[in-house]
A = this chain, B = another copy of it.
Amino acid sequence: MSSAGIGDQVRALVFDVFGTVVDWRSSVIKAGEQLSQETGQTVDWPGFAEEWRRVGYHEQIARIRAGTAPYETTDVFMRHKLDELIPKYGIRGLSEQQIDWLHKVWHRLDPWTDSVKGLTRLKKKFVIATLSNGNVALLTNMAKHGGLPWDAILSAELVEKFKPEPEMYLSAGRFLGLPMDQVMMTAAHLRDLYASREHGMKTGFVRRDPEWGPNGKIEGEPDRARIDVAATSFLDLADQLGA
């Protein structure tokens, strides 16, 4: 089936956000370096960003999904981890205002350079919405920060379940009033896409190798039996979907 065909079958695109729409790694490092300048201390901000994301975010979501930690929003558990990482990385003398500002960097992540242009084109043909593990306030503030033109904010907070739990994917069809096969999950992460596929969604992969940092392991090649569209950017995605 051609991609053009897919573009005519789909009514809505829902997006993973961290890594797919915005560059969390560079944004967190940049905020940290600004704090270093303000406070005159050297910190391993690349390591800090990596650990905040990998342990504070991914591992905490795994614990919540496993039932070994209670449900909390991303804002809440990312703050808990931040309070551990500050002493661990030897950071001293931050005011509560500075800590809150660093915590809220996740509300101010910068879009990849093609994100706003691509979303603006896609919005003309499709409903575009987030489908992110981030909480509603985080996603709403991030959209204002970066100019992301979402039609709706869909979030783990609305169902109190995190991807890849089925409830999250199913909520997209339910809230948008569409059959699952008219909704395309769009992500830079194959695991997210393959999980969405099990619930009947269309799948759009966008390669974002810089997410993984200079030494990281990039995403592999998509299994084209489970991926409807593979794109190099949101502009390429819009081209392939006829938007």
Contact = CB atoms under 8 A, between A and B. Distances in A.
Interface of A: 75, 127, 129, 135-141, 143-144, 151-153, 157-158, 175-178
A138 B141 CA distance: 23
Contacts of A139: 152
Given A137-B175, A144-B151, 13 more contacts: A75-B177, A127-B140, A127-B141, A127-B144, A136-B177, A137-B176, A138-B177, A140-B151, A140-B152, A140-B176, A143-B151, A151-B153, A158-B158
Nearest to A158: B158
Nearest to A137: B177
A162 to B, nearest CB: 17
Given A151-B143, A152-B153, A136 B175 contact: yes
Nearest to A136: B175
Nearest to A135: B177
A134 to B, nearest CB: 11
A62 to B, nearest CB: 24
7 contacts: A75-B177, A137-B176, A137-B177, A140-B152, A143-B151, A152-B152, A157-B175
A136 to B, nearest CB: 4
A138 B176 CA distance: 8
Contacts of A129: 140
A198 B137 CA distance: 23
A153 B157 CA distance: 13
Nearest to A73: B177
A177 B137 CA distance: 5
Sort A-B residue pairs by CB-CB distance and give the 3 closest, nearest first. A137-B177, A136-B175, A152-B153
Contacts of A141: 127, 177
A164 B153 CA distance: 23
